[in-house]
Structure 1
Amino acid sequence: MELIQITSAVWQLPLPVGHVHIVRLPDGYALIDTGVAGSAPAVLDALDQVGGRPGDVRQIVLTHFHGDHMGSAADLVAATGARVLAGALDAPFISGTAPEPEPVFTASERPLFEQVMAGLAEAGVPAAQHVPVDVELHDGDTLDGWGEPVRVLHVPGHTPGSIALHLTAGNVLFPGDLVATTEGRAILGPFNVDRQQAIASFRRLAALDPETICVPHGEPLLQGAGPVLRAATPEADWV
C-alpha cells in the first residue's frame, strides 16, 4: 500500500481494514494502531520507507481493543521492543485478562459487520494475539517524547476505553473509530458498545476544532476538519 503523508512527521499506511499511522518522534517513531493480525510486515516495510528501523519504534498506541487495531500489536512488539500504550478501560481486553464486550448493532450495522467478518475469514486473517499493556492512559494524560504536546482523550462509546490523541501544536486529531469519513463527510463509526455515549464523544471531538483528522477508516481530512466534524449528524448515522 502507498503511504499517505499527512504532515512532515505523520504518515498513514492505508490497509484494507483499519489504517495504521506512523509518527516520527525526536528519537524514533510511534505507531498508532497496528492493523489486523498479519499486518506487521506491511507496517515494517512502511517504516522503512520513511527512514525507520524496527528498533526505532518507541511506542505503539492502541486506540481500542478491536482486532483491526490491536491485531498485529504482539508481532510488532516482538519485532521492535516498543512499549504498548492504551486506554485504561480497554487494557484488560487487549491483554486478554477480561472478556471483550460485544457491540450493540443497529439494523443497518449488522449486515455490514457480517460482511466484514466474512471478508476477513475469506482472506485467512488470523485471530489477534493479546499483548500486555505497558502504560494505561487516562483522560487528560499527555504523551512523553513526541516533540510536541500530545493530549489523550478518553472517548468511550465505541469501546469502554477508546482513546483519541490530539497533537495540539499542529492541531492534528487521531479519533480512533469514533469518526470515519466518506466522500469528504465525517460520520459516526459503526459497531459501538454504547451508541449514545459514542455520539457524545463524537461531539466532544468536534468541539476541538481540529485542522487535520486521521481516521482509521476512510480518507484523512487534511485541512478544515473542524467544520466537517461540526456539520456531521452522528445521530442519524447507521440507523
Structure 2
Amino acid sequence: MDIVEIRRELHLLRLEFGQAYLWHDADGLTLVDTGIATSGAEIAEAIGRLGLRTDAVRQVVLTHYHEDHCGGAASVALWGDVTVMAHRLEAPVIRGERSAPPPNFTDEERALHRGLGAHLLPPAPPCRVDRELRDGDVIDFGGGARVIATPGHTDGSIALHLPRAGVLFTGDTVAHVNGQVMPGVFNMDRQEMLRSFRRLAEVGAQVACVGHGEPVVGADALLREVARNIQE
C-alpha cells in the first residue's frame, strides 16, 4: 500500500486493489471511496502513517457501488461518528437491499475483465448510507464539494468538484492508464457515460483524481482534448 501526496491536504491511497482518496481539513478527514472489502485495515494504516487518527474520519463519500470502491465502507463506518454518503440510486445496492446489475460489457471489456480477475473481487459487505446525494448537492469538505451526477458507469455514479481547490474526483467516468487519459470501462450505458465524461471536461479542474490510475495534472486541457476526440 502506497501513499501519494497530491497536495498538502490530499493524498492518494493505493490499495491492494483499487484506490481511495483522503482529504484533510482542520476539523476532520474525508474519504472518497474505500477500496475492496479487505481495505479497511490498509486505510487505517495509511491514516496512522500520516500521523492522523481513524476517529478523525468524519465522512465517507462513495462515487458508486462497485466492490472496489465501496467494499471497505462498512469497516470505516465503525470507526466513530462517520457519515456515509452516496447517490440516492446507489444507496439501495450499498445497503444490500438490492443486487447490482452487471455492466453491459463490450467483447473487449469482457476479456479485459476476465484478465484482471475483477470478477473474483470479494463482495462488498452491506453498509449504511446516512445521506443520499443528488446532483448539485454540496458536501462540507475542501471548501465545499459539489456533487455532479455522472450516470453511465452506473446509474448513480457521481463526481465531486472542489472549486476552491481546483480538484475533481471523477469516480470511474475517467481513467488514467499507461499515461493515457480516457473514458472508463465496464459501464452500464457507454453512451450515457460519454455524455458524463464531456460534462466533467467542462468543469475546468486543475487536478482530476480518477478512480483508476494516477491523478491527472492539468486536467482542464487534457479532459477537453479527450472529449473532443472520443470515439462513439
Could you state the TM-score of these two structures normalised by the residue count of structure 1?
0.91
Residue 101 of structure 2 corresponds to: 101
Give, in whole Å, the separation in 2 of the partners of 1:161 and 1:65. Answer: 8
Offset at residue 26 of structure 1 (A) = 2.4
What does 1:220-235 align with in structure 2 at a 5 Å threshold? 220-222=215-217, 224-232=218-226, 235=230
CA contact (8 A) 2:71 2:123 kept: yes
Residue 209 of structure 1 corresponds to: 204
Offset at residue 178 of structure 1 (A) = 0.3
Residue 165 of structure 1 corresponds to: 160
Residues 99, 127 of structure 1: alpha-carbon distance in 2 compared, 3 angstrom cutoff: closer
Residue 68 of structure 1 corresponds to: 68
The aligned amino acid for 1:102 is P
What does 1:3-22 align with in structure 2 at a 5 Å threshold? 3-22=3-22
Residues 147, 68 of structure 1: alpha-carbon distance in 2 compared, 3 angstrom cutoff: closer
Selected match of 1:134 from 112, 116, 130 = 130
What does 1:105-116 align with in structure 2 at a 5 Å threshold? 105-116=105-116
Offset at residue 215 of structure 1 (A) = 1.0
Question: What do residues 24-46 of structure 1 show as CA deviations (whole Å, max 9, x unaligned)?
Answer: 02211011100011011110011
Residue 170 of structure 2 corresponds to: 175
Q: Secondary structure, in 3 states, of the residue corresponding to 1:128?
A: coil
Matched, 1:58 2:58: yes
CA contact (8 A) 2:71 2:125 kept: yes
Higher-strand-fraction structure: 2
The aligned amino acid for 2:126 is H
Question: What do residues 169-205 of structure 1 show as CA deviations (whole Å, max 9, x unaligned)?
Answer: 0110000000000233211110100111000000000
Q: Secondary structure, in 3 states, of the residue corresponding to 1:175?
A: strand
The aligned amino acid for 1:112 is L
Residue 151 of structure 1 corresponds to: 146
Question: What do residues 59-117 of structure 1 show as CA deviations (whole Å, max 9, x unaligned)?
Answer: 01100000000111111112344111001111111111122121101111001112223
What does 1:194-205 align with in structure 2 at a 5 Å threshold? 194-205=189-200
CA contact (8 A) 1:185 1:232 kept: no
Bigger drift between 11-20 and 40-49 goes to 11-20
Give me the identity figure in percent.
42
CA contact (8 A) 1:18 1:35 kept: yes
Q: Which runs of 5+ in 1 are unaligned?
A: none
The aligned amino acid for 2:188 is V
Q: Secondary structure, in 3 states, of the residue corresponding to 1:3?
A: strand
Q: Write out the 4+ residue segments of structure 1 that deviate beyond 4 Å after TM superposition.
A: none
Give, in whole Å, the separation in 1 of the partners of 2:106 and 2:208. Answer: 26
Note the aligned Cα RMSD (angstroms).
Answer: 1.6
CA contact (8 A) 1:89 1:160 kept: yes
Matched, 1:193 2:188: yes
Count of residue pairs the alignment pairs up: 231
